Amino acid sequence: MFSSLSEKLQDVFKKLRGKGKLTEKDIKEAMKEVKLALLEADVNYKVVKDFINTVTQKAVGEEVLESLTPAQQVIKIVYDEMVNLLGGSDTKLTFSPSGFSIYMMVGLQGSGKTTTAGKLAGLLKKQGKNPLLVACDIYRPAAIKQLEVVAQKAGVKCFANYNSKDAVKIAKEGIEFAKASRCDVTIVDTAGRLHINQELMDELVAIKNAIKPTEILLVLDAMTGQDAVNVAAAFNEQLGIDGIIMTKLDGDTRGGAALSVKAITGKPIKFAGIGEKMEDLEVFHPDRMASRILG
């Protein structure tokens, strides 16, 4: 993932390191190359502009240019800003202080929502929680079956009601079932659509109001690039989200979505999907991701 961006940035840094002393012109030239690399990685244009301005401002300071290791310092500034871009330190999943947490999974069809609901349940189970999955994607019977299958793989219970076409009612029943079964985490899988539409949003808002989730997690497909960022902005505006799970980061994504979405929506990536298997979900660490990109 991000291999092309990573290679390009490493080339820029290599050139800087080779120079010894740096002038303002050297830094500006390097930043031009960083800008190009980010744009080629499909990072949002405004995000790139702000990023380059901030880094340049910090890097052309006298302290950096006069220091014994100016290249190192510039690279450190880029690293710090990239960590900020990827979400800073504000990326942890929040648990309810009541001891009973509810996560509502939302996203477009095909983003990986159902798979990710199962993966998240498995991950939380490994952390000692007792999660329940609730199937509210009622329009495709196959989706309910799919959730039951991933629940089984994750070794957690799944609540479904094949007889109802009322997602709000099923969500509420699921929460009651979780409480009765002494589960401490409920993960509600909701219906997706191919595109955002009002009907979908109305249903999600109704579920949100009925179950008051601890967090709403938006599942986004990293491979869809800036479309994913637009989807995130729309969901955040119309529903309000708390965090993002970026899937398919194992593919040959250029990285633009992951690098733009926090700056555009203000909401952090909390988990990363890195494969189709149940264990392929990682807690998202902006610092580790920035290190991976910058090499």
Could you tell me the two tokens for 223? 């491979």
Could you tell me the two tokens for 282? 């990682």
In whole angstroms, the minimum distance from the beta carbon of 222 to ligand GDP comes to: 8
Task: Report the C-alpha gap between 71 and 24 in whole angstroms.
Answer: 12
Nearer to ligand GDP, 107 or 256 (CB): 107
Nearer to ligand GDP, 101 or 247 (CB): 247
In whole angstroms, the minimum distance from the beta carbon of 60 to ligand GDP comes to: 40
Task: Report the C-alpha gap between 129 and 117 in whole angstroms.
Answer: 14
Phi/psi at 256 (5° precision): -55, -40
In whole angstroms, the minimum distance from the beta carbon of 140 to ligand GDP comes to: 8
**Binding site members for GTP:** 107-114, 189-193, 247-250
Q: What is the DSSP string of 217-286?
A: EEEEEGGGTHHHHHHHHHHHHHT--SEEEEE-TTS---SHHHHHHHHHHS--EEEEE-SSSTT-EEE--H
Nearer to ligand GDP, 116 or 224 (CB): 116
Distance between start and end Cα atoms, the chain: 12
Q: Which of 265, 195, 215, 217 is nearest to 116 (CA)?
A: 217
Nearer to ligand GDP, 251 or 295 (CB): 251
Nearer to ligand GDP, 60 or 167 (CB): 167
**Binding site members:** 107-114, 189-193, 247-250
Nearer to ligand GDP, 70 or 87 (CB): 87
Pairing of strands 269-273, 281-283: antiparallel
Neighbours of 33 (CB within 10 A): 16
In whole angstroms, the minimum distance from the beta carbon of 146 to ligand GDP comes to: 6
In whole angstroms, the minimum distance from the beta carbon of 107 to ligand GDP comes to: 6
Q: Which of 129, 181, 123, 175 is nearest to 153 (CA)?
A: 123
C-alpha atoms less than 13 angstroms from C-alpha of 89 in its C-beta half-sphere: 1
Nearer to ligand GDP, 31 or 220 (CB): 220
Residue whose entry in the numeric block shows the structure tokens 């409480």: 179
Interacting residues with ligand GDP (CB under 6 A): 107, 109-116, 192, 247-248, 250-251, 273-276, 280
In whole angstroms, the minimum distance from the beta carbon of 79 to ligand GDP comes to: 26
In whole angstroms, the minimum distance from the beta carbon of 192 to ligand GDP comes to: 5
Phi/psi at 13 (5° precision): -65, -35
